[in-house]
Amino acid sequence: MKMELENILLFDGHCSLCNGFIDFLIRRDKHNHLKFASLQSNIAADIIPLNYRNDLKTIVYKRGESMYTESTAALKAISDLGGLWKSFLVLLLFPKFLRNTVYRYIARNRYKFFGKKETCRIPTPNEASKILA
């Protein structure tokens, strides 16, 4: 069964940095533009190719028919919060190889720098409509 949700950010459910980013987005998503699912979930298996699910060093942002990864995914998701957050799109003017070099360095070291959770994120009652199981 394919999911047809418009804006879904998929993330490493065990990564403390990734979970912090999801918390950041949830707190600011006043218009409910974003949904979230872990890369380890059945939802991810339904909507993104296997190579994305196997590479837990990237977030994947499915926005309509488009799919973004790494720094582009983060910037597009932030901009979809609306308002002044759209100004983050200016960072897309930096060459992708530069943005992703920084992204990949942090991604490779994220467990060392920020820690790792034993289990994937379990949504609170307030998050239940945003985090897909």
Q: Is 69 helix (H, G, I), strand (E, B) or coil?
A: strand
What is the tally of helices (H) and strands (E) in the chain? 5, 4
Q: For 77-106, write each residue's pLDDT tens digit.
A: 999 999 999 999 999 999 999 999 999 999
Q: How far apart are alpha carbons 121 and 62 in whole angstroms? A: 19
| Start-end of H helices in 11-131 | 16-28, 42-47, 50-54, 70-79, 96-114
CA dihedral (70, 47, 38, 93) in degrees, to 10, reads 20
Q: For 32-41, write each residue's pLDDT tens digit.
A: 899 999 888 8
Q: For 9-40, write each residue's pLDDT tens digit.
A: 999 888 889 989 999 999 999 888 999 998 88
Q: For 36-69, write each residue's pLDDT tens digit.
A: 998 888 888 888 888 777 777 889 999 988 999 9
